[in-house]
Structure 1
């Protein structure tokens, strides 16, 4: 390709195009959103945030600008725990699988426990989420994996919401949920229990997916010095950020609280 010296220097000293100026402005917005969410957002959520802020922009353009700038959202993997042996006398079916995904808030809740290691010591986190909105309704942290842990998370969720008569609660078959104390509490509240099919760990995949998100966004790259520091971080992430600010892909990139209010 033959290019004259005059043509080359004209190209080198050309004025920045309107498109270049706009790309630079958009990239500044992308960087601000990325920083605001601690690097958790990839291009789909950043695109949704830009559109919510009034920007008319194609997601492919956002993806390209991020790629060219080396901006990458955090990614993680699913951590599965092995449930403690449950109560063989408790006979509970998988009602969640039978009913499918809920069509309104507070018709199906799900709970699970995950492990977090702080200074060489295990801490256990129990959560309850609404499967309709993915909202975290109750959570508890403890250094022991017992029915008291899961009951505390349940009671916090109950204090937060009005229980309807057709509410289903789904969990794995571990002893933290199969214990008589837990099953009796569900009965007192008029909540119908539902459990994984024996040997089917993926039956509670929505809570497992939530734990993956939590560990990727709230723990990756962080070193907590104490349990209190961990608890403070969880309170911020679960009660303020995840429920009210974080955009969820399966909710049309709405936050759980926004999606729940849309159903009212």
Structure 2
């Protein structure tokens, strides 16, 4: 039987190349997650490199304006590389942060701004001011209460707040009030990783069409590409909020599509769904479940589902349990990765979250629901157990 050759559009090829080029993933990792051949992916990378060097690549010959743009991009990359070499060389010579902050103070006295110097040395400006404040402040006195507070905080893996820590101290026979515990935490630099801001991502107050709840909490599927769930969450960075749209296959709990952007228009959820469709090529009749957000009720998203024969399903109003599997993934993502990071900008967050999805969650993280197998391994294991049809006889 002749194998049908898959054809991918240029936008999907570019997304795959960016995973390798910009987000630090290896070609085998991307091929394993996206079910692609290494030969094809390496060919796409060579074509991309040829275009970046100003060559014609696989398309038409470049115009003079395009060549000028390629030249400017190459010069920009060269300047960035030279700057990185100087930064790495400085860190090799002066690895201690005290030396770095001392250099910042010296350059500040020569009329250079702290923000400019910290950016060039790749250090945090808030960290510089905090180190200066600690140097000027008297050292906190050590006592049994502070020692027990630090021990209880470490035992909770940095998750407990002042309420739970005050109760933990009382259990040890130390009657300390909550507000005193809060002051002690602030004085000793103990900050709970669970403290976070709430950002509203679902706007169900609209006049757009609402689909029925076809999924109806039926989260157990017998085959892949039978039902997908989708949702949007937010990621905090020092450069502003980053929104993440995700598509998950209920059969294997595998993330089959995702997209990130500093805003959350309907195009964001469409990009995540298009990635899932390009990778999985689902048959008609697949259930695409989401909440009632305006992005999922938009005309372009409904048109995308209709073109591929998908059946749209939506949760009941204000009912997060109708999409509990996706909510659980977001909780795992934030507990295991996001809340333990302090992203400086959107690019850093995109690289780290992509690495989590492709390099860890889909291919390494053990799921108790899947018999303690990663989603990709689970799908391949179940595929081997299915009967193979030969000449119409299974």
- The yes-or-no answer on 1:255 pairing with 2:374 is yes
1:121 matched residue in structure 2: 240
Question: How many residues in Structure 1 have an aligned counterpart in Structure 2?
Answer: 195
TM-score, structure 2 length as denominator? 0.46
- The yes-or-no answer on 1:134 pairing with 2:248 is no
Distance 1:73 1:139 in 2: 30
Structure 1 residues 209-261: Cα deviation after superposition (integer angstroms, max 9, x where no partner): 00000001112321111211111101111112110000011111110111111
In the TM superposition, residue 81 of structure 1 has moved relative to its aligned partner by 4.5
1:237 matched residue in structure 2: 356
Which has the higher relative contact order, 1 or 2, with Cα contacts under 8 A spaced 6 or more apart? Answer: 1
Change (3 A) 1:262 1:84: same
1:10 matched residue in structure 2: none
Tell me if the contact between 2:239 and 2:344 (Cα under 8 Å) persists in the aligned partners.
no
Larger Rg: 2
Tell me if the contact between 2:231 and 2:290 (Cα under 8 Å) persists in the aligned partners.
yes
TM-score, structure 1 length as denominator? 0.68
Distance 2:267 2:295 in 1: 8
1:104 matched residue in structure 2: 223
Q: CA RMSD in A?
A: 2.4
Tell me if the contact between 2:219 and 2:325 (Cα under 8 Å) persists in the aligned partners.
no
Ranges in structure 2 where 5+ consecutive residues have no aligned partner: 1-153, 160-192, 384-394
Tell me if the contact between 1:86 and 1:178 (Cα under 8 Å) persists in the aligned partners.
no
Give 3-state SS (helix, strand or coil) of 1:166's partner: coil
2:214 matched residue in structure 1: 95
Distance 2:213 2:289 in 1: 8
Ranges in structure 1 where 5+ consecutive residues have no aligned partner: 1-69
Structure having the larger proportion of residues in strand: 1
Change (3 A) 1:87 1:126: same
Distance 1:108 1:167 in 2: 5
Tell me if the contact between 1:74 and 1:216 (Cα under 8 Å) persists in the aligned partners.
no
